C-alpha cells in the first residue's frame, strides 16, 4: 500500500487532520510530517499572546502518523485497509520542546507490536532543526469491518 493510499484511508479531515505527508512506511514503522500553521484555532487561546501547540494535539499528531498510518499500512498488507476504525487505548508522552505557529514537525514511529487488533508504537517528534520535541509510546485498537 502506497503512502498516498494510506492518506486517502485516514478517518480524519480538517480541522482534525494532523498529517501532511507520509514519507516512509513499512512493516516496522513510518515517518511523516505536519505543519502547525498559524491559523489553527487553538493558537488563538493557547496561550494568550504567546501561542504554543497543546500537548494533546502533539500527541494526536504522533498518533495519527505513528499509529493510524502504520496501522492502515499493516491492515493493507492483510488486504483490508478500507473503512478503518481506530481508538486510542493509551499514550505515555514526554514533552521536551514547544511547537510554535508555522512550525513543521516530523514524526517517526517504530512498531512495538501489532496483535489482536492492537497496535503499539514508539513515537518521536522532531522539529526542522532535528531536535526532539516529544517522545513516548502510543497504543490503539485498529480494525476494519472485515476484521469485525
Residues identified as active-site: 46
Q: How many helices (H) and strands (E) does the chain have?
A: 3, 6
Helices (H), 49-107: 55-63, 70-77
Closest CA to 107 of 89, 92, 88, 127: 127
Residue with cell 501489532: 114
Amino acid at each position: 500500500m502506497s503512502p498516498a493510499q494510506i492518506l486517502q484511508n485516514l478517518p480524519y479531515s480538517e480541522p482534525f487532520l494532523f498529517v501532511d505527508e507520509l514519507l516512509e512506511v513499512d512493516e516496522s514503522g513510518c515517518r511523516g510530517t505536519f505543519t502547525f500553521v498559524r491559523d489553527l484555532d487553538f493558537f488563538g487561546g493557547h496561550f494568550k499572546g504567546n501561542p504554543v501547540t497543546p500537548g494533546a494535539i502533539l500527541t494526536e499528531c504522533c498518533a495519527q502518523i505513528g499509529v493510524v498510518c502504520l496501522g492502515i499500512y499493516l491492515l493493507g498488507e492483510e488486504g483490508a485497509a478500507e473503512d478503518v476504525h481506530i481508538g486510542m487505548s493509551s499514550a505515555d508522552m514526554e514533552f521536551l520542546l514547544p511547537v510554535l505557529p508555522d512550525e513543521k514537525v516530523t514524526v517517526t514511529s517504530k512498531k512495538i507490536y501489532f496483535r489482536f487488533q492492537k497496535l503499539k508504537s514508539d513515537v518521536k517528534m522532531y522539529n526542522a532543526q532535528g531536535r526532539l520535541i516529544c517522545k513516548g509510546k502510543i497504543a490503539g485498537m485498529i480494525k476494519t469491518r472485515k476484521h469485525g
